[in-house]
Each structure stands twice: as structure tokens, then as C-alpha cells.
Amino acid sequence: MNDFTKGLLAGIVVLVGYVLYTTNSSKEIDAGYPATEAGAEAFLTEAEKEISDYGLYAAQTFWVQANFMTVDTTALAAKAGQEGTEMAIRLAAGARNFNDANLSDELRRKIDLLRMGLTIPAPDDAEKTAELAKITSGLDATYGTGEYCREDGTCFNDRDLIRIMATSRNPDELLEAWAGWRTISPPMKDDYARMVEIANEGSLELGFADTGVLWRSGYDMPADDFTVEADRIWGQVKPLYDSLHCFVGDKLEAHYGDVATTESGMIPAHLLGNMWAQQWGNIMPLVASEGADPGFDLTKLLEGNGYDAHRMVKAGENFFTGLGFDALPETFWERSLITKPRDRDVQCHASAWDLDSKDDIRIKMCTEVTADDFRTVHHELGHNFYQRAYKEQSPIFQGGANDGFHEAIGDFIALSITPSYLKEIGLLQEEPDASKDIGLLLDQALDKIAFLPFSLVVDKWRWQVFAGDVTPEQYNDAWWNLRHEYQGVTAPIERAATDFDPGAKYHIPGNTPYMRYFLAHILQFQFHQKACEMAGWEGPLHRCSINNNKDVGAALNDMLEMGQSKPWPDALEAFAGTRQMDGSAILAYFAPLKVWLDEQNEGKACGWDAS
């Protein structure tokens, strides 16, 4: 029951064998361990056993619920989640007793990881702990059951509205969907503010100034230094985003006219093909001009070559065995859910599972024969091979080096799904010439580059809220100020202080930290660049595939085996030869696109006024 998220039930996230949300604990914390190295060793021995014992039971429970969704399995999963919550509270509080102890580096790391295991920590107050549990589950339920209803009684859930945002080209319909979904979040605002107050009390008791500091302290550097580091990396890649923003804004104005035109130069959020304007890939047909044809349709290639879901997963496995990793165990094929059953509802969101912290790894995915799912298969197996690589580590160390590493590994592998790779496995007869690269790169950039500033905004807003720099009356203005500054995206209609637009994004009421996604988008390209360098690749970075390179695989495995046992710079150095996350690999990967975008933008008024 490690690192990768196993379930979202009753406001509970299970991660690294223990849960991140809080309810009242029914078991007394054992305060009998002295604040010494010997005391810490004894405490951690008990903690590791408890995590291991709980992990398999909880993982099996959540697996059954995800694959057999009934009232009973949901109740059992909720019970397992609460038990994990109580364990997390005990372990975090127990670890707090060693805050000032003189410990070895390994013991200190374990203690700190346990201390930081609660995303929304409760204070040592039963009444406030119960209140916090009620609030977090209520926020989750409000989002999960949210609907926008017209006056005629027609109602739309989030999936309905997301589909409209992705496919409609009618600006009135898009505006209705965008504004309609944001009617669900204002009722969350007061509860969210109260949750912040209580969680900050809990964070202070654990030794952190506020909950935002707790979150940022998980990156092996002082919290304030991490804030500076995130901005440094963003500064590296911002010029590429600026070029993409200018190009896309111009294309939208050409299509929508005055609806897409703003005096500030910002893009109205409802026109970018996504409910949150976080990824823009759905508008590729609107912005892809002459010279932006990728030259092949991967979905049609898969269909034409007789691929089914099982064969797609097998292709993903073959990629990893080609790097020198052991084949997936037979239990993977026996126990994974690879296609949607005909006889029952299941949770179809793709995920990778590690049930026993050893070899019982699985995926759960309603796989369809599409280009997106072909890439997703490679991504999810990246989680599985990472999970198996660190299986010999302590349960406390069974996770990514930082929370961006796990997502980055899968995405890094998917970057090798290049025309040369598709030719090697028989899906393409000939690689498209270099003139087709712009289409491939533009398609990737609309998702990966457009996502970067949004992924910063989500947590920057929360850090300000947790620190008290933004009051509840300022929540919505602060949200849009950040989106203006970083994304150059603006609300299509006037927003009021009584609105709570951050709450319309699940990760806010769900209390899921978001920096992991920003870091993953940086690290995947850094890993890819280094791997291609190891492989002796000399062509354009976006054309490189590391398929069948066992030297790269051996170096990758060395990093994966470390899990979370060392600070992430140690893990990064083990593979990439540097201790610093670096956005320059993104610039190298998209270099031909940047040149092309700047040519398209020549003579146009680029940039935006965020004031």
C-alpha cells in the first residue's frame, strides 16, 4: 500500500501506507519511548511493523472496492481508511516527540517523514479533530455530488460539463458550462477557511509555522528555499510558455473574434478546451495550422495492427524488459484489471497498485485502443516498476524520492514513444520526416507546457492562504491574481468576493498537494535528456527513444531502488549527475517548436497585462 494513491473514499487518501486526512483516534499514543536514538529505533520498529501490517489489508480492501463498487465494499473501504487515519495520527504524534532528539541521518529521515505524513493535520484536541474530519469529508462530498442545474430542471455533473468544455466550439455553451460548474463551490468557502485554522494548529504542534510550511518542508530544503526554487525553475521555462500563449491567443481570436479578445492580452479561461484551462490539448484542431500535422494517427495505427487492451499492456512491459527490468510477475496478469468488465461498475481512472510492498503489483485501467491509453499504459507501468524496485526499503522509505518523482518516471518513459519506437515495434512503416515534428511538439506543448503555470498557481494560492497572507474575503481575488500573473488567463465573466473558484478544482477541497505535478513535468524531461545522453543519441531530443538500452535501464534502476531513503538530490544525482532540478531540458526538447512559434508570432502583440 505504497506511494501511489489507492483510493479517494470518505475524504481519505491512502499514500505511503498511511492516510493523509484526519479523524479522531481511538488508541492512545505510546509516550514511553525516550527522546534518544535508542528510543527512536524502538518507536520506528513498531511503526514499520504497523505500517506493513496495515498496508496489505488496506490495499486489498481498497482494491476490492475499486473493482466491485457496492454499498458494502464502500463501507469496508471507509472503515479501513479510518483505521489508517488513526494510525497516521498516532505515528505523526509519536514522531513529534523526537523533534529535538540527536539522531542519525537515517533515523531523522524516518521520523521526519512520519511527522510530515499528515497533509491536513489535526491538533491534539478531540473536539477539533472531530470537527476537522467532518469538514474534510464534507468538502469532498460537496465536490463529488456537485451539479449545475438550469432553471428548466436540466442538471449536469462534472463529467457532463467537462465533456462540453472539451468538445464544444459554441462560446455561449462554453460560458454556461464554465460558470455553471463554479456554482458548486461557494458553499465550501466558510468550511474551507475553518479547516485552514484547525490544520494550522495541528501543523504548529508538529513543529511547522503553518500547513504550507509543512507541505514545502517535504523537499529536503528549508520551506522558503523551496518557494524560491520553484520560481527559479518556472523562470527557465516561461519564455516557451509565453510563445505558446501568444500563438494560441491569436488563433482563438481568429476563430471566436471579439469573444476571445481582451484589452489585457489575457485569454478567457472558457475557450481553452478544459474546465480549468490547465491543459489545452483539446483545442489542437483549432490552433493546428499548416505545418502542424504530426504525420500519423497512433490510434488508427493501433487499430490497424490488431492491438487490443492486453497487447497494449504487453507492449508497455516489453519496453521495460528491453531496458533490462525483470518481466512482470504472472500475478500481474492474473489480478490486474485491464479492461472494463461488462457486468459491473468499476473505478475506471487509470492507476498503478502495489498491494504487498513486494511483487503483487497491478494496474487498474479500463483500457481502450487509443493513442492516449497507449501512452497511459507505459506511464502506469512506470509506477509499477518503480514500486517493485524499492521493495527492499523500509516501509517508510517505499515511495518516490520526492512526490514529483513517481509521476515523472512514468511520463519520462512515455516520452520514448517516438516515431522511431513505433517503427521498431512495427506500428509505423517509415518515420515521418522532420517537417512533421512541429505537429507532434505542438500537441505535446498544449498539454505539458500549458500545464506548468497552472500547477504552480494551485499551491501558491494555498501557501498564501495557510500563511494568513490571504484572508477568506480575498480568496477569489487572490486566485485570479495568480492566474493572471502566471497563466495570462482571465475569467470570462466578472467574479465576486463571494465566489470560491479555487473550490471548483478537486485538489483544493480534496486537499491534494499539487507541486508534485509541476515537479513531474520538469523532471520527466530532465530524465529523458540524461537517458538519451547515456544512450549516445545525437539527434533532436524529441526524436530520441531509449527503447532496448540496458545501460540506461541499469542506471535508472539504481535510482529507483533508493525509493525515499535519501534526499531527492541524492537520487537525482545517481541518475542525472546533478543535484539540481533543471528546466533547460524542456527548452532543448521543444527547441524546434519555439523557433516555429516565434516565426508565427512575428509582428503580433504578445504578452499580457496582469495588473
For the segment 429-477, what is each residue's pLDDT rounded down to a tens digit? 998 888 889 999 999 999 999 999 999 999 999 999 999 999 999 999 9
Tell me how far apart the alpha carbons of residues 302 and 318 are, in angstroms, rounded to a whole number: 16
Mention every residue, 6+ apart, whose C-beta is less than 8 A from residue 365: 337, 338, 348, 350, 351, 373, 376, 377, 380
Question: Any alpha helices (H) in 97-219, and if so which ranges?
Answer: 105-115, 126-144, 158-167, 171-181, 189-205, 211-216
Specify the pLDDT at position 290: 66
Residue bearing cell 520560481: 231
Q: Are 296 and 518 in contact (CB under 8 A)?
A: no
| Three-state DSSP state, 363 | strand
**Contact (CB, 8 A) for 530 and 575:** yes
pLDDT at 24: 30
> Which residue matches cell numbers 492507476?
351
Q: How many CB atoms lie within 10 A of CB 569?
A: 17
Question: What stretches in the chain show pLDDT beneath 50?
Answer: 1-29
pLDDT confidence of residue 15: 30
Question: What pLDDT shows up at residue 11?
Answer: 29
Dump the DSSP string for 33-44: S-SSHHHHHHHH
The residues carrying an active-site annotation are: 380, 507
Q: Give the pLDDT score at 26.
A: 34
pLDDT score for 291? 60
Give the type of residue at 531.
Answer: A
In the chain, where are the structural domains located? 8-120, 147-183
In the chain, the amino acid numbered 398 is Q
Tell me the backbone φ, ψ of residue 351, rounded to 5 degrees. -155, 155
pTM (predicted TM-score) = 0.91
Asked whether the CA dihedral 315, 317, 321, 323 is positive or negative, the reply is: positive
Nine cell digits for residue 411: 511520463
Q: CB-based contacts of 53: which residues, under 8 Å, 6+ apart?
A: none
**What is the radius of gyration, based on Cα positions, of the chain?**
24
Residue given cell 495568480 in the structure block: 482
Q: Which amino acid is at 440?
A: L
> Would you state the pLDDT for residue 14?
28
What integer pLDDT is reported at residue 502 of this predicted model?
A: 98
SS3 257: helix
Residue pLDDT, tens place only, 190-209: 999 999 999 999 999 989 99
Secondary structure of residue 298 in the 3-state scheme = helix
pLDDT of residue 77: 85
C-alpha cell at 133: 474530519
Query: What pLDDT, on the 0 to 100 scale, is given for residue 1?
Result: 36
The pLDDT assigned to 31 comes to 55
- Per-residue pLDDT tens over the stretch 570-604: 999 999 999 999 999 999 999 999 999 999 999 99
Distance of CA 467 to the CA centre of its chain: 23
